[in-house]
Chains A and B, each alone.
Chain A
Amino acid sequence: MNDPVGWRLPLQAQKAVLGRLLVYKALDLHRAQIEAADYGLLWQELRGKLCLSTARQLQFGRDDQSLDAYLQELASELREQLCFPDETAEAVCAPLLDFIDELMKAAAQTGYDLLVGAFKRAIELASTEYIRHGLPVPPELINGASVEFDFQENWPHQALPIQMQAYTLLDDEGTSPSASVHVTLAPRLLDEQTAFAFPYVLLHECLCHVLQGPWVWPRMQADANSRFAEGWMDVVAYRLHAKLDAIQGDTALTDLMCPLRRAAQMQAASAVHLARSTYQDADRAWSHRAIGTNAANLLFDLLGRLPESGGDPDTPFMHLGVSLNASSIDNTERDLFVSSVYRHLYLWSRSGPLVPLVRKYLDDNDVIRLVLDTTQLVV
């Protein structure tokens, strides 16, 4: 894969963002032990110093100091500034401070941009899922993907509970695919929720949008209110994200797609996933996303109940999602499919016509026929 960068963060912002992303992981990993020993206040103090140091870096950072040097200096700074009330406190906090040293040293030695590395990993994970379901992703599709990281001082006005915005633009020209993922971070406000939801957000962009089909160019960008692309496929991305441990195996400490504490990453992803389909007064697209999300969950639920797929509802569900996303079926027809599934599964009195179609799909694996037959069920 080519280097997918379209735009890197300026040095000061990189220092602030990576400083927080990495140290938050370390802090989160050691929080329970420190609080259990009744030194939660020291933990809070360390977190506060991290926020202050990275905010100073953003505003007054030195241009002549490299990112690697800063990260190592940050580790030393955090260690030096923490005053211990007694020896026990020092002993309790030592593993955390040692781990931060180790983490920062590892980050300084990676030799590549960790944010871009996370994006490349997200594309790799997403394309692997397509390949796993018999959909060989064309290399030009992956090579045509780029990422632009940007930052802003203030809260990126949005309804999601994270200090980050991300969207993907398909810029296919002629026969050449091109998708650019735009990620805007607010380093000064960057919190744990944002840091731990970062992998899920990248995975959503790559799985749902960068690899959107049909894999013939130019492609048609799905609207923000597309219930399939933004609702149904978000469930697919969320479920893939939930399996990251099993998929990734051993990864580097500094891999931003890899959680140090799985539960923290899942909790953050869940909060964002839920917020995407929750009522918002200003943006009525939430209702379309909610229908997509609910329809996908209802179908997954149905697969779990049927004798044919009850043991493993995940495989046919993921297969359906990625196959339809890669297919030549247009965006409106995809949305109609979602609406029909929702209509027929929301109440069991109406599920009669749809269930045989789903069981047929389980028998023949023919996604296209399932979609076309399901859309025929509606007026």
Chain B
Amino acid sequence: MLERYRTLGAMLALREFTVADLARYSGVKQATVRTILARDSQYVVRRPVVSTGKSGGQPLTYSLRLEAVQNLVELLRTLEAVGARPPVAGSSESDDGWNGSAVPASLVAAEDALLRQLPLVCTLAERNQILRVAATDFETARLTVQNPEREVAAHFEVVDFMLRLSRAEQDILSSAMIAEEKAEALSFFEVPFGSPENEEKLSELRRDLHRVLTEMPELQDRRLLPDLFDRVGTSPFAQVLRQVPGASEINSAPHVLLCDAGGPGTAYISDFVTDVLRRQEVPFSIVSPTFWEKAPESDWDSRQSGIAYASSPFTAILMTVRAGDAFGLDAVSHACGMYGQLRKFVVLCNHFDSDLYNRVNSLQGRYLSFQGLEENGLLGALGAAMTDASFAPLNGPRSVPPPMSPSPLMQLGVTFGDSRSSKK
């Protein structure tokens, strides 16, 4: 298969060739090339031999039939789909082309361009160039990877979403430029948020964002989610995108759900938390220790009880648990299982509990011990769990510069923790 793939690939590249040309290009022996040429003769025509007047035979020359090009390309793709690849010569690339990453380089590069580079450029032309590069990378990755496993599939989903969002942003920037008769692109600060004609497109983007967030598996790449949230926060559509379809007015705001799963033994911890949240004017609801038994719907009851907030990516769920309490451990596991978006969970324990600590970490949640906990530590963890990663570096080093526009929580007037805290 590999020899056929390489010989046919050589035919596509060279268009006119001798057997020796094909052999050199493909690295396949001339005898094999002749066999393949004979078997796949429908793609080529043999050119007439022109006498040169010199002694000795002339090498036969072939041409690729123009009408056969498309069929040949499809055949090559079919062979690639079952694993045929060009020989890798002198490349630093590993055989799978992924350079040691779990995700192909072209997909990581597209993601990096859309999530981290795009918010830094100001002109429409620069944005266009980055979009072209990212789209090319995405297409390369898409054609290269067959049946991606979960981690890679999640990256594909994010890049696909980001491409569409970035193009929608580009549309409104262009329209605003035309309206303002400006040569240079406007910053997002100068652009009116949303427009009626984009309503359908925005609805679709909003649905997709929430689907991506809801279905995203636990990732090895700890930067993807926080960077995605940062990026969405810089979008002129941030307000619209943050709304959960079907529960828009509730889920567009940052919120804390407080669940005391420790009973009387942790009541003093819950008091501390509510006191902090009140003083910082952070909206919160208190839910029952078994709130996870009720599906997160937007009906009146669940709104009243606060459970409707649970499905929003902009809600942090804080559970207070007693060390060594099996019920608390179960409650955390069930709640995480129900709501999927595990990183929004902050588990606060009265003493250090290694089992609970390991469990929460394995679920990508945040574990805090009440011993020695200060207000800023609590607020930092909650801010991070509300997806606003600019307040707390959750997942390792971050090199993302400040976004072009205020982050979602800042836009809503909510800030947390340390020196950046600006108490209203």
A residues contacting B by CB (< 8 A) are 225, 227, 273-274, 277-279, 281-288, 290-291, 293-294, 297-298, 300-302, 304-307, 310, 332-333, 335-336, 339-340, 342-343, 345-352, 355-356, 378-379
Contact = CB atoms under 8 A, between A and B. Distances in A.
Interface in B112-167: 112, 116-117, 126, 129-130, 132-133, 135-137, 139-140, 143-144
A308 B314 CA distance: 60
Interface in B169-187: none
Contact of B9 (A336, A351, A378): A351
Contacts of A355: 13-14
A342 B140 contact: yes
Given A285-B112, A294-B92, A349 B73 contact: yes
Interface residues of B, number: 58
A343 B136 contact: yes
Interface string B62-93: 00000001000100110010000111011111
B356 to A, nearest CB: 27
Contacts of A335: 129, 133
B313 to A, nearest CB: 23
B73 A352 contact: yes
A10 to B, nearest CB: 31
Given A290-B99, A349-B77, A225 B112 contact: yes
A379 B223 CA distance: 28
A294 B141 CA distance: 14
A349 B80 CA distance: 8
Contact of A352 (B12, B98, B223, B399): B12
24 contacts: A225-B117, A227-B109, A277-B105, A278-B92, A282-B397, A284-B109, A287-B99, A288-B109, A294-B93, A297-B89, A304-B89, A305-B27, A332-B126, A335-B129, A335-B133, A339-B133, A346-B140, A347-B144, A348-B13, A349-B77, A351-B9, A351-B13, A355-B14, A378-B136
Contacts of A379: 132, 135-136, 139
Contact of A301 (B5, B73, B90): B90
B396 to A, nearest CB: 6
A281 B321 CA distance: 33
B344 interface: no
Contacts of A298: 91
Contacts of B201: none
A340 B221 CA distance: 27
Given A294-B105, A336-B129, A349-B9, A282 B396 contact: yes
Contacts of B117: 225
Contacts of B99: 277-279, 286-287, 290, 294
B105 A290 contact: yes
Contacts of A294: 91-93, 97, 99, 105
Nearest to B64: A352
Interface of B: 5-6, 8-10, 12-15, 21, 24-27, 69, 73, 76-77, 80, 85-87, 89-93, 97-101, 105-106, 108-109, 111-112, 116-117, 126, 129-130, 132-133, 135-137, 139-140, 143-144, 221-223, 396-397, 399
A356 B15 contact: yes
Given A290-B109, A297-B89, A348-B6, 5 more contacts: A286-B99, A297-B91, A342-B106, A348-B86, A349-B9
Contact of B21 (A307, A332, A333, A352): A307
Contacts of B91: 293-294, 297-298, 301
A178 to B, nearest CB: 25
- The 10 A-B residue pairs whose C-beta atoms are closest, nearest first, are A348-B9, A349-B76, A287-B108, A279-B101, A297-B91, A279-B100, A287-B109, A332-B129, A290-B105, A284-B112
B101 A287 contact: yes
Nearest to B121: A332
A351 B116 CA distance: 30
Given A297-B93, A343-B136, A310 B397 contact: no
Contacts of A286: 99, 105, 108
Of B97, B108, B109, most buried by chain A (CB within 10 Å of CB) is B109
Contact of A287 (B73, B105, B144): B105
A227 B13 CA distance: 25
A292 B321 CA distance: 51
Contacts of A343: 136-137, 139-140
B93 A290 contact: yes
A287 to B, nearest CB: 4
Contacts of B130: 332
Nearest to A238: B92
A333 to B, nearest CB: 7
Contacts of A277: 92, 99, 105
B15 A291 contact: no
A271 to B, nearest CB: 11
A282 B101 CA distance: 12
Contacts of A273: 92
Nearest to A307: B21
A372 B384 CA distance: 45
B80 to A, nearest CB: 5
A103 B222 CA distance: 51
A87 to B, nearest CB: 49
A305 B25 contact: yes
A363 B278 CA distance: 75
Contacts of B5: 348
A86 B222 CA distance: 59
A307 B112 contact: no
Contacts of A351: 9, 12-13
Contacts of B8: 348
A350 B143 contact: yes
Given A287-B112, A301-B89, A307-B21, A333 B9 contact: no
A81 B317 CA distance: 67
A352 B24 CA distance: 17
A169 to B, nearest CB: 18
Given A281-B396, A336-B132, A348-B6, A305 B24 contact: yes
B78 to A, nearest CB: 9
B69 A352 contact: yes
B36 to A, nearest CB: 14
Of A300, A350, A356, most buried by chain B (CB within 10 Å of CB) is A350
Contacts of A356: 15
Of B13, B98, B105, most buried by chain A (CB within 10 Å of CB) is B105
A237 to B, nearest CB: 13
